[in-house]
Amino acid sequence: MKRLSAMPIILLAILLASSTIFAQAPRNLNEQIPLNPKVKVGKLDNGMTYYIMENKRPENRVEARIKFLVGSLQEEDHQKGLAHFIEHMCFNGTKNFPKESLVKFLESTGVKFGADLNASTGFDAITYMLTLPLDVPNMLETGIQVLDD
């Protein structure tokens, strides 16, 4: 008679145990996910909603994001890739930071392009992310100006 390995039996026992441990009641997918109670939410006069949450790590840093609820789904066939192109073009200069001065200035303060300064385009949104060093004078105001531009 061929001897069975104990490995499949142990694996089967683990799978059976984990399926009962992680089994949950079905969720209502239309139910809104609750917001962390530590998050402060408000709305500006222009209709923009903001969310603020304190996080002490890393020290002397603030992460600012701005999200536009438009993306590639709003493109016509002849516009495919335009949302992503615009995302990239915003790093090439703004009203207050012409040409490449935006990235050069931010990098001079310790902000790393890609790690601390980045963006992403999805089907339904474009998000710009900026992590700012607060130990640099006026950096929070400048960072908000960058996102405003």
Backbone angles phi, psi at 21, to 5 degrees: -65, -45
Task: Indicate whether 118 belongs to any domain.
Answer: yes
Provide the CATH number for the domain around residue 136.
3.30.830.10
Q: Please tell me the predicted confidence (pLDDT) of residue 99.
A: 83
The segments of the chain whose pLDDT lies below 50 read: none
Q: What is the pLDDT of residue 4?
A: 53
Indicate which residue of 31, 59, 75, 87 is catalytic.
87
In the chain, the largest separation of any two C-alpha atoms, in whole Å, equals 81
**Residue 38 falls within a domain, yes or no?**
no
Position 74 in a domain: yes
Residue 126 lies in a domain: yes
pLDDT at 43: 92
Residue 137 maps to a domain: yes
Assess whether 87 carries a catalytic annotation: yes
Q: 68 lies in a domain?
A: yes
Q: What is the DSSP string of 56-122?
A: -SSTTEEEEEEEES--GGG--GGGTTHHHHHHHHGGG--SSS-TTHHHHHHHHTTPPBTTTEEEEE-
Quick check: is 32 in a domain? no
CA distances from 140 to 1, 26, 89 (A): 75, 44, 23
Specify the pLDDT at position 27.
76
Q: How confident is the model at residue 70, as a pLDDT?
A: 86
Domain range for residue 66? 59-148
How many domains are there within the chain? 1
Length of the chain, in residues: 149
In a domain, 79, yes or no: yes
